[in-house]
Structures are given as structure tokens and as C-alpha cells.
Chains A and B, each alone.
Chain A
């Protein structure tokens, strides 16, 4: 990969000084690329994103080993608002909008990167998500799931980021809405040139939009490759794309996990 915007080098994250949630994760996100991070619940995907976007005191988590290199400088353990000022914006998994503020206020509250043109940004966000322009005065707590996700992406874009981190784009949303949102993300990359790191449980969605994918299990990256390669992989087919198995797959899950671990870790 030629121009790497973000690189994680053997990243390790520890919660409450004892619980290791991410162990030795390395990955690269090329400039203007869309990279997917796949994995089941508790695999450490969200923690990885939070480590990149910065923890606050309330989290009681720290990057203890390794490095997060963004645009040539190391950013691990910086305060989130400084990381945002650096050009990284996160669309979080839960509580992603300020519910008691209106849509317009949600966008207004954002502190964009120094030098960003606020008005042009707002225009391009409303152009990208016409629904938000229509709902400008609506309190964000009354938005539907899809509208809320649009507002979350919109207000992250209002930070004028070079790198957009998206945590669980598809969670809890109808497939048709997910498809629409994926289309918007493609436009974000095409029109604004924004690089995107997408965390997903839904492999269909992730492999559909990404140029490259990483698979995480138990806090480690166990597999990576192009969408074609990942789609062709037997375990991805079985565990993430739901091919074959059906009900039986669930009951044999433990056994499979063991077999898979043996294969991957050698």
C-alpha cells in the first residue's frame, strides 16, 4: 500500500489496568480507502476504534503497548477532542447523537478542524443527507434509527475529518436503509475524499463496500485480505456469511471455535 493514512502497530489496550481487550493488533488504512474490521461481539473491534479516537477519564482504558500512527505522527492516549482536531472523527455504536438537541444544533455543536470552512461543510452534509435538511428543527431524540445514523455520520463529517471511523453502521437497521447508508459512505469517499475505517458484524455489508478487510477474534487480528479473498475463505463463509450449517452451526459453535483457533494460530 502506497500512502498509508493510519497504521496500528501491535496495539494493546487494557481496561481498568487489568483486562486486556486488544492484544497486538496491527493494521493499515490507505488514504482514501475503505477498510473493514470484521468480528463477532467482544472481538475487540469497538475497543480498537475507541483507542484510535481517544479514551476519556470515564472509560478507564489505556493503550499500554504498540503505536497508533496517523499521518506520520503518533496519537495514542491523546484526548479525544485533540484527535478530532487532528482529523479523525468517530461515528459511535451507541448514543451517537445529542438527543435533546435539534438536528441543526447537533451539527452546530461540533468543533471542526482548524481552518475548515463551516458553512461549506454544512452545505455538503445537507446535500449528502437531504433528510437532515428537512428535519433541521426536529429534536434528535425523535429521529428514526436510519435518520439518527445519518445525523451521526453528518455530525462526524462536520468535524472535517480525513479519516472517518464508523462503528456498526448496520446495527438495528432495515437492510434497505443499510444499503442506502452504504451508498452515502461511497459518496463521502468519492466526493470528499474521506478515508473510512468501518467496524461491522455484518460481513455482507462490510465486504460489499470495503477495499480491504481484517477479521478480529478475541482481541487479535486473525485474518486479512481483499473482499474477494475473504469471501472465498471457508470460515468467513461459514461464520460470517451464513453459508450452510443453519441451526446445527450454532450448536457446534464451541467445537468450531476450537478447530478454527487451531488452524489460525497454528
Chain B
């Protein structure tokens, strides 16, 4: 039972992060390799707003959310916007450079010691019993619920709202989308904003659960196989990929060796790339574009 709870929480973490990879890839056909760093920036954002709005935790969380969204939009207009019309490789390299830059800047600004944004907010992470012999941390539970809410809202947004439909259209055929009156930069900026928001949310929750340190980037990196295994342009795929990776990781760590934790996701990724390179739900023809 405890294993199932652990799998659920880890899957929620991966899913919340990997939907950002999918959102950006789906709308702009660019693989953002700065997503792990942007996630960590979201966590540091919460830490900063928590000290800024001390005594008003709800305001601090809301401010951190808005900040994450704004950072995503800013990244698009300051950097990725200029990559339109360049090769996809140039854009991906730009995200790698951005990631390294952000990592350095965060180390400069916040140091390398472990921070605890949750304590800063004045909240505690209670342990909640699930059934008879299993426990989940309060933040872990929030993580699962937040991930479910984010996926539900994203599905509804992409399926039923006009902006969501336009985002799918722009991802499929940018030229035609522009000819149909859709402003591509607005759509792309929205995709970056939403992706950075969900990534940042994941970062905030992980930091609240386990503390905030610079090694957090690794978790963002491990969510990348989840997105790829699912198929980079499918949200349902990212969800399934996250569950598969999380289950494999938790089971291997429990039954074989805890040191396998960082190995398993990438092993599964390699196996998947050999057997079914386009992932569970990805479209086949997208493959050559990455």
C-alpha cells in the first residue's frame, strides 16, 4: 500500500513537470531543456515571496504562481521569440544555454544551502494516514490533487476553449494558423507561460515537501523521459509515461537498490526509443523534428 502511495506521489511530480515539456513542444515544436531550471526558479520564487509576504501565506503562493507565469512569458519574448524561423536545433540549444545560465544565477542569488519555503510560509507538512499501514505527507496529497486539477483544466482548455483550439492549430501548422488570423507570438507566449507555471508549481510543491536545494534540477531532468515515453505531443501520453516511470523507479528502489533511482527513468527512455521511438501516444511523423 505504501508503495502504491509512493508511486502515486512520484507519478504526480513527474506528470506535473512533464506537461510543461508537452505544452511547449506541442505549440512551438521546440523541446525546452531549461524546464528543470525554470521549475527550480518557481520554487525559489515561492521562497522569495514567502519572506516578502511573511504572515500572508496565501498571498505569497498566489504571487509565486503569477511570477512563474510571467517568467515563462518573459522567456518567450526575451529569447525564444527571436528563434522563430531559425532551425529547431538552434532553439533547443538556446534553451540549454538558458538553463545553465539560470542555474548559475540561482546559485549566486540564493546560495547552495537547503531552504524550506513551507516553514517560511508558516505551514507544516502533516503526515496523513491512508488506509491501515500507509502514510502520505500533506504536501504529497496536495501534489496529487494539484496534478489532477492541472491535467483536467489543461484537457478542457485544449479541447473546448477557443484559445486552446488555436494553440493546437498553431502547433500543427503555424503558417496556416497565421493565415487564419491567429497571432503566433501570443499563442507561443501563452504556451511558455502555462508550461512555466505548471513547472513552477511542481517546483514549489517538491520544495515544500522535501526542501529546496540545487539538486532539484535532476527531478526536472527525470520528468523528461516521462514526457518522451508518453509521446512528446500528447498530454495523455505524459500522464501515462509519468506513471510508468514512477512505478518502475519506486519498485526498483524498493526491491533492488536505492541507487537505481536516477538510472531507471533513462533506461526506460532508451528502451522506448529503440522499440517505439514516437512514444505511447505521440504522432509518428513528429519524430524527425526533434
A105 to B166, CA, bound (A): 9
Task: Please state if B181 and A159 are interface contacts (CB–CB under 8 Å).
Answer: yes
Known: A56-B184, A98-B173, A101-B172. A111 touches B166 (CB 8 A): yes
Q: Which of B85, B173, B181 contacts A111 (CB 8 A)?
A: B181
A59 to B85, CA, bound (A): 8
Of residues 85 through 112 on chain B, the ones whose CB sits less than 8 Å from some CB of chain A are: 85
Task: Please state if A81 and B85 are interface contacts (CB–CB under 8 Å).
Answer: no
Chain B residues with CB under 8 Å of A108's CB are: 162, 165
Chain B residues with CB under 8 Å of A105's CB are: 165, 168-169
Secondary structure dominating the interface of A: loop
Distance between A118 CB and nearest chain B CB, rounded to angstroms: 10
Task: Please state if A109 and B182 are interface contacts (CB–CB under 8 Å).
Answer: yes
Interface assignment of B284: CB less than 8 Å from any CB of chain A? no
Task: Please state if B180 and A100 are interface contacts (CB–CB under 8 Å).
Answer: no
Q: Which of A80, A101, A113 contacts B178 (CB 8 A)?
A: A80
Q: Closest residue of chain A to B85, judged by CB?
A: A57
Known: A81-B183, A81-B184. A54 touches B168 (CB 8 A): no
Interface assignment of A60: CB less than 8 Å from any CB of chain B? yes
Chain B residues with CB under 8 Å of A98's CB are: 168-169, 172-173, 176-177
Task: Please state if A60 and B85 are interface contacts (CB–CB under 8 Å).
Answer: yes
Of residues 230 through 260 on chain B, the ones whose CB sits less than 8 Å from some CB of chain A are: none
Chain A residues with CB under 8 Å of B172's CB are: 98-101
Complex interface: stretch among A87-95, A210-218, A239-247, A252-260: A87-95
Task: Please state if A155 and B168 are interface contacts (CB–CB under 8 Å).
Answer: no
Task: Please state if B168 and A85 are interface contacts (CB–CB under 8 Å).
Answer: no
Of residues 176 through 197 on chain B, the ones whose CB sits less than 8 Å from some CB of chain A are: 176-184
A89 to B177, CA, bound (A): 11
A92 to B173, CA, bound (A): 12
A114 to B169, CA, bound (A): 20
Task: Please state if B176 and A53 are interface contacts (CB–CB under 8 Å).
Answer: no
Secondary structure dominating the interface of B: helix
Task: Please state if B181 and A84 are interface contacts (CB–CB under 8 Å).
Answer: yes
Known: A56-B175, A98-B168, A100-B168. A155 touches B85 (CB 8 A): no
Task: Please state if B180 and A110 are interface contacts (CB–CB under 8 Å).
Answer: yes
A54 to B181, CA, bound (A): 11
**Which of B85, B178, B183, B283 neighbours the largest number of chain A CB atoms within 10 Å of its CB?**
B178
Interface assignment of B51: CB less than 8 Å from any CB of chain A? no
Known: A57-B84, A60-B85, A111-B166. A95 touches B182 (CB 8 A): no
Task: Please state if B179 and A53 are interface contacts (CB–CB under 8 Å).
Answer: yes
Interface assignment of A79: CB less than 8 Å from any CB of chain B? yes
Task: Please state if B85 and A56 are interface contacts (CB–CB under 8 Å).
Answer: yes
Of residues 31 through 67 on chain A, the ones whose CB sits less than 8 Å from some CB of chain B are: 53-54, 56-60
Distance between B124 CB and nearest chain A CB, rounded to angstroms: 46
A58 to B173, CA, bound (A): 12
A231 to B272, CA, bound (A): 61
Distance between A57 CB and nearest chain B CB, rounded to angstroms: 3
Task: Please state if A155 and B180 are interface contacts (CB–CB under 8 Å).
Answer: yes
A213 to B278, CA, bound (A): 48
Chain B residues with CB under 8 Å of A113's CB are: 181
Distance between B51 CB and nearest chain A CB, rounded to angstroms: 42
A–B Cβ pairs within 8 angstroms, 30 of them: A54-B178, A54-B179, A56-B174, A56-B184, A58-B85, A60-B85, A79-B178, A80-B175, A80-B178, A81-B178, A81-B183, A85-B181, A90-B179, A92-B175, A98-B169, A98-B173, A98-B176, A100-B172, A100-B283, A108-B165, A109-B162, A109-B168, A109-B177, A109-B180, A110-B180, A111-B166, A111-B181, A155-B180, A159-B180, A159-B181
Extra contacts besides A81-B182, A81-B183, A105-B168 (17): CB < 8 Å: A53-B179, A57-B84, A59-B175, A81-B179, A84-B181, A85-B181, A89-B180, A92-B179, A95-B173, A98-B169, A100-B172, A105-B165, A105-B169, A109-B168, A109-B177, A110-B180, A156-B180
Interface, chain A (partner B; CB < 8 A): 53-54, 56-60, 79-81, 84-85, 89-90, 92, 95-101, 105-106, 108-113, 155-156, 158-159
Interface, chain B (partner A; CB < 8 A): 84-85, 162, 165-166, 168-169, 172-184, 283
